[in-house]
Copies of this chain bind each other. A is one copy, B any other.
């Protein structure tokens, strides 16, 4: 799947991904009212709004961006109904040809990590395999070490999927733990070394590993340091746009071939209609498409 992602990025000449992170506040009021009228002021109504919203965004950015990244927390907040919208969004995105990166940031000990690995590895019941979550990649948390990661790597190799391990996250307080310096080297570089080690047994044909890294756009110097440490690792780069990261910040994140990254924007794309009156509420999908095109131009420039 790392190979498929790379060839999809090449085909569209666009190393960006749209984060499908809807909030109730972001939903155009006509859509909100319609679903509230139909389902009451319930989690089911919100789930239906999210699904309708995502469907329109997906149609608008199809053929422009190679991948989408739904953040499961925004759906999990609305309970089972919300998670049903997540699952349907992932299934629809996959059907439409997008690579689906499930931003789930799961991490736990061995047997529990094996259960979470069903997200990409599927679930076996009495000899039959179910793909219940429809993700091609997921994000994972390294705090528990290799036995929390190994089941995901096994699933990657078995099902040709991929993972993004959190190395340096995009948020300000990522420094509290990730930047503690040990032997002249911050914790995030120790994690980068683990990612390198873990990734060697999961190489794709493209020369990139199925074990990839998350490196936040706002941390220009840190990202360049991770790139120097991991010349052959593929990066997911959150934090561009709404979180403050710029194209200039992430220049050093790409590898010597100008590849090896996919840059995410969520609010900056899906809520773009709120920043420009010309679209109006009913033009939210058009605004998202224009924002996706502008982001592509910015990153490729």
Contacts and interface: CB of A to CB of B under 8 A. Distances in A.
Interface of A: 21, 24, 36, 41-43, 45-46, 71, 73-74, 76-80, 83-84, 87, 105-110, 112-113, 115-116, 118-119, 123, 125-126, 128, 130, 132-133, 141-148, 166, 169-178, 180-182, 187, 190-191, 194
Given A78-B118, A142-B177, 20 more contacts: A24-B125, A73-B113, A76-B116, A77-B115, A77-B116, A77-B118, A77-B123, A79-B132, A80-B87, A107-B107, A109-B171, A109-B174, A141-B141, A141-B143, A143-B166, A143-B177, A144-B169, A145-B177, A145-B178, A147-B173
B109 A106 contact: no
Given A145-B173, A177-B145, A74 B112 contact: yes
B187 A174 contact: no
B171 A76 contact: no
A144 B162 CA distance: 22
Contact of A105 (B83, B107, B145, B191): B107
A45 to B, nearest CB: 8
> Which of A24, A128, A144 has most chain B Cβ within 10 Å?
A144
B71 A112 contact: yes
Contact of A178 (B109, B130, B143, B175): B143
Query: How many monomers of this protein are in the complex?
Result: 2
Contact of A144 (B123, B147, B174): B174
A126 B80 contact: no
10 contacts: A42-B125, A74-B115, A76-B115, A78-B132, A105-B141, A141-B143, A143-B177, A144-B174, A145-B171, A146-B173
Contacts of A115: 71, 73-74, 76-77
A177 B21 CA distance: 30
A147 B171 contact: yes
A132 B172 contact: no
A173 B180 CA distance: 20
Contacts of A83: 80, 83
Nearest to A71: B112
